[in-house]
Amino acid sequence: MTGNIRTFILMAALTALIMGMGGLIGGKGGAVIALILAGAGNLFAWWNSDKMVLRQQGAHLVTREQAPELVDMVAALAQRANLPMPKVYVLETEQPNAFATGRNPENAAVAVTQGIMRVLNRDELAGVIAHELAHIKHRDTLTMTVTATMAGAIAMLGNMLMFSSMFGGRDENRGGGPAAILAMIFAPLAAGLVQMAISRTREYEADRIGAEICGQPLALASALARISRAASQVVNLPAEQNPASASMFIINPLHALRMDRLFATHPPTEERIARLQAMTTGAGAGPWGAR
C-alpha cells in the first residue's frame, strides 16, 4: 500500500469519526451537518493553512536583510530540491524545532525557532531545513495541516458531546447514554492515533529525501538527536496551546509535558536516526555547502 493510499484511508477514518460524533449529538441531521462542517474546515485549511498555523505559533516573517544566513541557506537548499523559494519564518521560542506549512510548493513556508538556530551547527540546520523542504516537495504540508484541523474538530465535537450528555437528556437518537460517553472518551484518542499514523508515514520519507537534498544524512541524524534532547527540557507554549499542530514539527514539541507523551505523533527518534545512519554519506548531489 502506497503512502498516498494509506493517508487517504486514514483521513477517511477521521471524516467517519466526525460524522459519527455529529450523529451522536444530533442524529442523522447532526451527522450531515458534521460532514458539511468537516468539508468547510478542510476548504478553509486548504486556503489558509499556512496563515492559521503560523499565527497560532507566533511566527514572524524574516527577510534576507534581517536573517541573511538563514534565508540564503533556505534559498540554496530549495534550489537543490527544485522548489520555489518558500517564505521563511522564525518562532520566538527557545525550544529547538521547525516545521513547514502551505497548500502547495508555490505557497509554502518554512519556520524555525530561535532555539534551533542556537543549538544546531550550520550543517545540522541545513539538514533540518532540507527535511522540511522534503515535506513541501511531496505536499505533506497540506495533508498534515488538514489532518490537524480535523483532529481539532473532533476534540471540539467531543466537548460538545460531553455537554450534550450532561444537559441534553437521554434521547436514544441524540447525545446521552453509554455510546455517547464512550465516543466522548475514545473518539479524540482515535483521532490522535490516526494523526500519529499519518505523521509517521511522512516523517521517515521526509528524513530520507531531506538527507538526499542536503547530501549529509549524518548531519540530519545529529540534528534530530540534539533537538530531541532539548525539546524534552524546554516548554513550547504556543504548541502546548495548540496540540493538534504537533505532528507538523520535525520533533514532537509536546515532549516537555509528561502527559503529552501519551499522544506522541512522531516515530521514535532512535529509529529515524538509525535509518539515516544506514544511508551513505554520498546521498544526493554531495554536501549542500560544498564549493
CA triplet 272, 106, 247: central angle to 5 degrees? 30
Strands 87-91 and 59-61: antiparallel
DSSP string, 213-226: HHT-HHHHHHHHHH
Distance of CA 35 to the CA centre of its chain: 23
Alpha carbons 150 and 134: distance in angstroms, whole number: 23
Residue 203 labeled ligand binder: yes
- Burial letters 23-44, b for 16+ CB under 10 A, else e: bbbbeeebbeebbeebeebbee
Phi, psi of 62, deg, nearest 5: -120, 150
Give the distance between the most distant pair of CA atoms in the chain. 72
Q: Is 131 annotated as a binding residue?
A: yes
Does residue 132 carry a catalytic annotation?
Answer: yes
Check the annotation: does 255 bind a ligand: no
Catalytic residue among 65, 69, 106, 132: 132
At 102, is the secondary structure helix, strand, or coil? strand
d(CA 156, CA 137): 31
Binding-site residues from annotation for Zn(2+): 131, 135, 203
Which residues are catalytic, by number? 132
Binding-site residues from annotation: 131, 135, 203
